[in-house]
Amino acid sequence: MQTEAIQAFVSVCDRGSFQAAAEALHLSQPTISKRLAALETRLGHELFDRVGRGVALTEAGRAYLPHARELLAVIQDGARALDNLHADTAGPLRLALSHHVGLHRMPEVLRAYIARYPNVAPEIAFVDSEAACRSVVNGERELAVITLPSPAHPGLVEDCIWHDPMSVFVGRDHALATAESVAATDLAAYPAVLPPVESYTYAIIADALGAAGLDIAPRMTSHYLETLRMLAGVGIGWTVLPTSMEHPELARLELPGVAIQRRLGAIRHPRRSLSNAARALLTMLDARREPSARA
């Protein structure tokens, strides 16, 4: 079928080689090659430049890729719509979680969920919030529970579940740890360890501190907040973490006039059907929504 060839095309794009795509789809590499050759013949364009063992998208391949992703997503959407005709909450739940939300917000939710719906098979990807958004846009995941982007993603629907206040932290031996008062601009004299500059969390931090007159330039970055907590604790730099991540090795700084806060919650695609399993999870999350998030 043509959809099988399109699936092979997208898999090669995502994994970077015919062999990796074949392993992911449980097919032989010659089968992948034949499907792609047939697709290229049908389309009348070469989709890949084959150089040695590597592959790179041609201009035609880059133009076709978003349409291929959308077609596969629509097919999955139709299958879910048919599955939803059955009243049972069962089958796969294709979910993406950001690392912090997965570790600190979702364990109790998932524990209650799998106890209530034992016939659901969660397929959870732990990824960065930015990658989670892309996976929902591309139809690879039904839902993601993440740090919500600010401003909101134009192609997705979001449900804010929790507000996540954040604070500036330094190690106990840091020069600012015992200062009587600290302004945001005082941080400029010291290195910072922060989330990557392309992340949603970095944008939130940069906006809040920028409004207080501080332009930040991190010495090191990491998506993992536990790593940032460790780096600040040993004295490599100041950082910004959820206030709930206070630690004995850290001192929290009170910065007058600075309020940093993330919104955490679920995102979904507005034009795609959700499985009964995904709908059940959204209902459970809504029951845990903080009052401030409801507002």
How far apart, in whole angstroms, are the C-alpha atoms of residue 38 and residue 2? 9
285: Cβ contacts below 8 Å, ≥ 6 apart: 109, 145, 159, 161, 265, 266
Q: What is the pLDDT of residue 52?
A: 62
Domain boundaries, the chain: 2-82, 89-162+263-294, 163-261
Q: What is the pLDDT of residue 294?
A: 63
Query: Containing H/E element for 193?
Result: strand 193-194
What is the mean pLDDT of each successive set of 10 residues along the chain, which is 295 residues long?
A: 82 85 87 87 85 78 86 76 69 94 96 95 95 92 95 93 96 94 95 96 96 94 96 97 96 95 95 90 94 71
Architecture category of domain 89-162+263-294 in CATH:
3-Layer(aba) Sandwich (3.40)
**Per CATH, is 163-261 categorized as 3.40.190.10?**
yes
How many angstroms from the chain centroid is the CA of residue 59? 28
Contact 206, 167 (CB under 8 A): no
Tell whether omega for the bond before 118 is within 30 degrees of 0, i.e. cis: no
Contact 241, 247 (CB under 8 A): no
Q: What is the pLDDT of residue 143?
A: 96
- Which residue type is seen at 226? E
Residue by residue, DSSP assigns 250-290 as: EEEE--TT--EEEEEEEEE-TTSPPPHHHHHHHHHHHHT--
Contact 157, 270 (CB under 8 A): yes
Q: What is the pLDDT of residue 230?
A: 97
**pTM across the whole model:** 0.73
Domain covering 2-82 in this structure, CATH number: 1.10.10.10
Written as six digits, the tokens of 65 are: 């890729």
Q: What is the pLDDT of residue 238?
A: 97
Q: What is the pLDDT of residue 75?
A: 79
Confirm whether 2-82 and 163-261 share one CATH topology: no
How far apart, in whole angstroms, are the C-alpha atoms of residue 245 and residue 243? 5
Contact 36, 9 (CB under 8 A): yes
Q: What is the pLDDT of residue 9?
A: 85
How far apart, in whole angstroms, are the C-alpha atoms of residue 28 and residue 153? 38
Q: What is the pLDDT of residue 215?
A: 93
